[in-house]
Each structure stands twice: as structure tokens, then as C-alpha cells.
């Protein structure tokens, strides 16, 4: 039996039966190498017995204790683990069930902070074009993703957008050496135009995921926008739902730039997809003001701190730590990216191979020299992804980052513990799929 695809597919979807490490197996017995971790979520693969045992053991004790009545050992352990991984600047964690909820909490924490600080006029948010922060109304409001916003326009928050930070397609054709300063100046001007007394926060993905096809920050960009935010007393929110929790080779995606946001968001890889779990993390400077003035951070949900979900998160993170998987991602990521670039270089339609760690984007173009995109109706990224699925490989297609409709990319984001043989298999199957789709 098959089900019609929604959103990403062409045709119908196979029915899943089970997962084994880096592979998923359907009810017909076909094996699929998970080359993208689903949507960059499955950080240690599927069917891990240690994680499953931790979940089962917790379920035997209690599945979920309501957060206003009880704490729990898994909740306290995952909180301690997150704060330790994030560093000493952070001191407050709000849990939820996924990225959209976590971004909603980040927006609310920013607003609550300014209210508690006596500056409740700071209500506006600034975000970037070609960004995606989630599918709830608030998270969608700060997403510069026209295709996903269009059905809901008129009911979204009034958010101001600045240019995407994309070295391959720089705003205004600015030279790479000047791009960080250009983008920082644009943000500075936008804050001044809106009035710093009106602006609560600037929200970014340190490495853009689905909306751009893995777009790392241009050199110098993140420190530059951090300085602009500090100058105008605007909070910086880092949405690390897709790029964080080790996906880029460091637990915080912002670590390589030595930039500390005021609020950060993690989800996907936090519990590796075993049970939905997300978290919004605030610095002590932000959370302490809220708690001192209003008693508590006023964001949360029925299943915030869900006991079994926290147990899953603890088990996943302990495996990542014990097996030194972040070091593996950090050291192997450049080699994987280079191998992909070298193998795919023979295709003139591969314009760019970019990323960090095990978070890699492949941009497909009609003309490599001019970077001209394929027509939107060709749906090239989705067609290659469908070919790959037929060849036993899962990759993540993205479209629409050039203008509002054109632009095609593929995201590669394998499990952190994928073997060298599996990574070679990924490259081979992806190459064959691209070749089949591009064949005249």
C-alpha cells in the first residue's frame, strides 16, 4: 500500500516498516540509506537499542509527569547536559515538542524580557529573506519563505526582512570581501528606520537549512550582526533547529564564530527523532531579569519536559558524547564535502557544494557560469530526490530560493555515526541519481 506524497514528493510514498542504523526498510523489503537524516533530524540513525531501552525503561516507570506538578531525573539530566554544552552564558531552558514550538518560545521570551525590563515598546522582529523558522503562525511570520507563507498572509505578524546572507548569491552582487559589512549595514539601517526602541530581536539561522539549501554565513557576518544588535540593544535569536545539536560538528552552530546569542533554539537532532523534543535556551542575563520581575518564563505546553522524551534526549546525547561523534562530524565533514564536490564536478548543472560538518547543500543550476537557475516547473531537485529514493537513497530537496519560485538544492545530512562505507554508498547513489535525471 502507498500513500500520496505531501509537499516533497512526485507520485506516491512507500510504507515504512523498520529502521536499522543508517537505513530504513519499507514493507516491500527495500532498503534506503538515510542520506539526509530525514530533514536533518536523525543524528544517530534508526533503531538504536540503547535509546529504545532508555525510552522503554522510562515508560515502565512513568511516561510523562506534568511539569507544574513534578520534576524528573530525565528532565534534570537533559537540562544539565544542554547548559553544559552551551557554555556558561546560558542558564534557562524551556522544553517543547519540536522546532516550531521552540521558536515560538524564543519570540515570547524576547517579548517577555523587554516587558520585564520596562521597555514593552520593543515588540517588532527583524528576520532574513530565504529563512525558515517553523510552521506555527509566529514562527512562519519570521520566515522569509514565500511558498510556505502564501496561504497564511494577512494573519501573520508584521515582521521586517533584510537580505539573505548568501556568499554564492550575494545581495546586490556585493563582493565577498565586503558582504559581511554590507549586510551588517543593512541591518543597522533597518533598525534605525524602525526605531531601536521598537525592535525586540533579530532572528537568524546560523547555517540556513531548508529555505536556502544549507547556506553557511559569509566570513565575518555573524560577529558583525552581533555587534549591530548590541549597539541598538536588540536581542539576537539563533535558530539552530536544523543546524545545531552537533550537525555542523560543534554542539552550537555559532561556536566557530565565537558568537553567543541571547536566545537559541534546538530540536531535531536533540533527541535524534526517537521522540519529538525541542528546547529554547536563554542566557542568564535574559532569563534572570524575567524571573526576578515576573517569577517565571511564560512559555510552555502540556508536554513541555515530557519525561520519556527527555529520557530519549539524554540517551541520544550520551551516545554522541561517549562515541566522540561530534569530533567525527567535525573531522570527516570537510572530506565528505570535498568528495561530493569532486565527484559531482563533471555535472555542469552542479553550481555549488557547500556546508559545515554533516550538513551539506548541493545547488543545481541551468548554467554554472551565470548561476542561472532551472525553471521552477522543471522541479529538478524534487525529481532527483525521487530518483534517489528509487535508487535506495534518501536526500532532502529544496526549492524556491531564487526569486520566489526558482532555485534548486539538495541537502545531505547523514547520521553522525554513518560508516565510511555508507558515506561512499551515499556519494555513489547520489551521483547515479543526478546522472539519470540529467541524461538527455
The pLDDT value recorded for residue 439 is 87
What backbone phi and psi angles, to 5 degrees, belong to 287? Answer: -65, -35
Please state whether beta strands 199-204 and 235-239 pair in parallel, antiparallel, or not at all (unpaired). parallel
Mark whether 125 and 213 lie in a shared domain: yes
Least Cα distance to 424 among 43, 38, 22 occurs for 22
- Burial class from Cβ neighbours inside 10 Å (0-12, 13-18, 19+) for residue 345 reads exposed
Q: Which of 38-42, 92-96, 144-148, 261-265 has the lowest mean pLDDT?
A: 144-148
- Is residue 46 scored above 50 in pLDDT? yes
Taking residues 104-122, what's their average pLDDT? 98
Looking at the structure of the chain, the number of domains it has is 2
Please state whether beta strands 12-13 and 31-34 pair in parallel, antiparallel, or not at all (unpaired). unpaired
Mark whether 149 and 279 lie in a shared domain: yes
CA distance 307 to 157: 33
The pLDDT value recorded for residue 5 is 41
Taking residues 371-396, what's their average pLDDT? 96
Q: Could you report the per-residue pLDDT of 284-337, keeping only the tens digit for each?
A: 999 999 999 999 999 989 999 999 999 999 999 999 999 999 999 999 999 999
A 10 A CB-CB count for 371 gives 15
CA distance 252 to 260: 9
Question: DSSP readout, 373-390?
Answer: PPPGGG-HHHHHHHHHHH
- Is residue 3 scored above 50 in pLDDT? no
Taking residues 120-133, what's their average pLDDT? 97
Q: Which of 130-139, 176-185, 399-408 has the lowest mean pLDDT?
A: 399-408
pLDDT band, very low/low/confident/very high, at 403 (cuts 50, 70, 90): confident
CA distance 242 to 53: 26
Q: Which three cell numbers stand for residue 28?
A: 516491500
Mark whether 260 and 363 lie in a shared domain: no
Mark whether 143 and 265 lie in a shared domain: yes
Mark whether 291 and 346 lie in a shared domain: no
Q: Which three cell numbers stand for residue 416?
A: 553522525
CA distance 163 to 61: 50
Residues in the chain: 440
The pLDDT value recorded for residue 114 is 98
Taking residues 103-118, what's their average pLDDT? 98
Residues near 13 by beta carbon (within 8 Å), at least 6 away in sequence: 2, 3, 4, 5
pLDDT band, very low/low/confident/very high, at 4 (cuts 50, 70, 90): very low
What DSSP character marks residue 245? T
Which range of 139-153, 182-196, 400-414 scores highest in mean pLDDT? It is 182-196
CA distance 389 to 31: 10
The pLDDT value recorded for residue 147 is 84
Mark whether 302 and 328 lie in a shared domain: no
Q: Which CATH number characterizes residue 187's domain?
A: 3.40.640.10
- Is residue 418 scored above 80 in pLDDT? yes
Mark whether 207 and 306 lie in a shared domain: yes
Mark whether 282 and 426 lie in a shared domain: no
Q: Which residue has the cell 516507570?
A: 61
Question: DSSP readout, 145-167?
Answer: -HHHHGGGTTSS---EEE----S
* Domain end call among 273, 294, 322: 322
The pLDDT value recorded for residue 7 is 45
Mark whether 418 and 308 lie in a shared domain: no
The pLDDT value recorded for residue 12 is 82
Show the CA angle centred on residue 47, arms to residues 43 and 50, nearest 5°: 85
Mark whether 236 and 355 lie in a shared domain: no
Q: How many helices (H) and strands (E) does the chain have?
A: 13, 17
* Domain end call among 322, 356, 389: 322
Show the CA angle centred on residue 15, arms to residues 244 and 413, nearest 5°: 20
Mark whether 313 and 414 lie in a shared domain: no
Domain of 269, in residue numbers: 52-322
* Domain end call among 259, 291, 322: 322
Mark whether 266 and 118 lie in a shared domain: yes
Cβ pair 99, 241 in contact under 8 A: yes
- Is residue 263 scored above 70 in pLDDT? yes
The pLDDT value recorded for residue 11 is 53
Taking residues 200-224, what's their average pLDDT? 97
Share of the chain above pLDDT 70, in %: 98
Show the CA angle centred on residue 278, arms to residues 272 and 279, nearest 5°: 130
- Confidence (pTM): 0.96
CA distance 371 to 92: 44
CA distance 246 to 358: 9
Amino acid at each position: 500500500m502507498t500513500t500520496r506524497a505531501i509537499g516533497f514528493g512526485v507520485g506516491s510514498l512507500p510504507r515504512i516498516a523498520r529502521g536499522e542504523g543508517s537505513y530504513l526498510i519499507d514493507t516491500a523489503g527495500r532498503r534506503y540509506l538515510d542520506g539526509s537524516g530525514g530533514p536533518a533530524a536523525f543524528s544517530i540513525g534508526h533503531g538504536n537499542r540503547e535509546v529504545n531501552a532508555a525510552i522503554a525503561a522510562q515508560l515502565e516507570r512513568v511516561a510523562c509527569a506534568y511539569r507544574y506538578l513534578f520534576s524528573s531525573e530525565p528532565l534534570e539530566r537533559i537540562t544539565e547536559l544542554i547548559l553544559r554544552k552551551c557554555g556558561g552564558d546560558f542558564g534557562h531552558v524551556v522544553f517543547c515538542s519540536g522546532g516550531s514550538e521552540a521558536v515560538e518560545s524564543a519570540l515570547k521570551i524576547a517579548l517577555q524580557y523587554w516587558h520585564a525590563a520596562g521597555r514593552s515598546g520593543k515588540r517588532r522582529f527583524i528576520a532574513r529573506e530565504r529563512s525558515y523558522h517553523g510552521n506555527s503562525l509566529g514562527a512562519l511570520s519570521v520566515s522569509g519563505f514565500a511558498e510556505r507563507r502564501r496561504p497564511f498572509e494577512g494573519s501573520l505578524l508584521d515582521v521586517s526582512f533584510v537580505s539573505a546572507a548568501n556568499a554564492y548569491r550575494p545581495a546586490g552582487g556585493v563582493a565577498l570581501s565586503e558582504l559581511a559589512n554590507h549586510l551588517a549595514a543593512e541591518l543597522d539601517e533597518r533598525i534605525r528606520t524602525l526605531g531601536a526602541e521598537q525592535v525586540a530581536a533579530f532572528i537568524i539561522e546560523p547555517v540556513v537549512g531548508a529555505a536556502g539549501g544549507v547556506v553557511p554565513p559569509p566570513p565575518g557576518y555573524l560577529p558583525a550582526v552581533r555587534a549591530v544588535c548590541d549597539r541598538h540593544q536588540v536581542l539576537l535569536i539563533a535558530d539552530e533547529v536544523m543546524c545545531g545539536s552537533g550537525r555542523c560538528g560543534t554542539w552550537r552552530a555559532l561556536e566557530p564564530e565565537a558568537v553567543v546569542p541571547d536566545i537559541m533554539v534546538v530540536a531535531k537532532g536533540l533527541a535524534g527523532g526517537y521522540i519529538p523534543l525541542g528546547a529554547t535556551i536563554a542566557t542568564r542575563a535574559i532569563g534572570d531579569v524575567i524571573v526576578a520581575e515576573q517569577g517565571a518564563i511564560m512559555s510552555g505546553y502540556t508536554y513541555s519536559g515530557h519525561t520519556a522524551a527527555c529520557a530519549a534526549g539524554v540517551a541520544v546525547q550520551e551516545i554522541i558524547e561517549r562515541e566522540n561523534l561530534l569530533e567525527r562530524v567535525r573531522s570527516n565533514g570537510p572530506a565528505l564535502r570535498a568528495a561530493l564536490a569532486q565527484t559531482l564536478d563533471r555535472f555542469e548543472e552542479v553550481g555549488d557544494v557547500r556546508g559545515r560538518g554533516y550538513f551539506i547543500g548541493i545547488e543545481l543550476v541551468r548554467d554554472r557560469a551565470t548561476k542561472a537557475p532551472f525553471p521552477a516547473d522543471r522541479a529538478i531537485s524534487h525529481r532527483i530526490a525521487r530518483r534517489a529514493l528509487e535508487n535506495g537513497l534518501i536526500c532532502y530537496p529544496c526549492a524556491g530560493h531564487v526569486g520566489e519560485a526558482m532555485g534548486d538544492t539538495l541537502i545531505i545530512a547523514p547520521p553522525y555515526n554513518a560508516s565510511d562505507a555508507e558515506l561512499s554508498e551515499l556519494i555513489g547513489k547520489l551521483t547515479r541519481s543526478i546522472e539519470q535525471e540529467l541524461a538527455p
